Amino acid sequence: MINCRSLRAIVAGCAIAALAGCRTGPPPPVVVPASFTPLGVNAPYLMGDVIGGLKARQAKMRAAKIRPLGPAEAGAYLADLGSELRRQTAGMGLDILQVSGSIVVRIPATFTFDAGSAAIKPTTDATLLEIARTVKTRNRTFVDVLAHTDTSGTPQINRALSDKRAAAVATYLANHGVSKARIASRGLGELAPLYNPETSENQKAANRRIEIRLVPYRG
């Protein structure tokens, strides 16, 4: 004879099975607007030398006793780093891009700065902290922090503001365990917009972004 407890268990199990049968697989991936794609993979500023020049940056890495990657290691190291960053930041709304032998973490300014400000918002902490956790343990890369603005204000003001924003994120990463020997920062102002012209507040916010570029450190 089946007692009441057993009957309830059977009913619950059937309900779970029925729900499982209704699932249609994982949700569709978020589609990135076409405007992002050309800049994401072809932007000249993402393909050039590391900030400050390769030789100077290598010297800092050597002084910090960070081991360089060998020719056969760099590809797999970068692929693992990209996969780990995607896992760590899943659902946060970031772009993790592979660009010209480097990884670029693109952070919309809505997660980092208010318009006209270089102060990192308290709500940004979780986003940058997840990035810092991965970047500090995967220490065989240069870390370039790049900041951008929208076209509000003059080019001179925007360049100065973006320099301050890039420095603020670089300082955050250093304060959360990323070796200072690995980090350099630069503001690009309004020179490399994702949307040109900007036709909405959302597009302005997208242009007002931070990018963290991770470049393999080779000896």
- What is the architecture of the domain spanning 35-216? 2-Layer Sandwich (3.30)
SS3 category, 54: helix
Query: Strand pairing partners for 6?
Result: none
H or E segment and range at residue 215: strand 210-216
pLDDT at 153 (0 to 100): 86
Average pLDDT over residues 63-86: 95
pLDDT at 42 (0 to 100): 62
User: What confidence tens digit (pLDDT) does each residue in 140-157 have?
Assistant: 999 999 999 988 889 999
Please name which of 212, 132, 217, 115 lies closest in space to residue 174, comparing C-alpha atoms. 132
Structure token digits, residue 168: 């603020």
Please name which of 116, 115, 96 lies closest in space to residue 107, comparing C-alpha atoms. 96
Within 10 Å of residue 123's Cβ, how many Cβ atoms?
Answer: 10
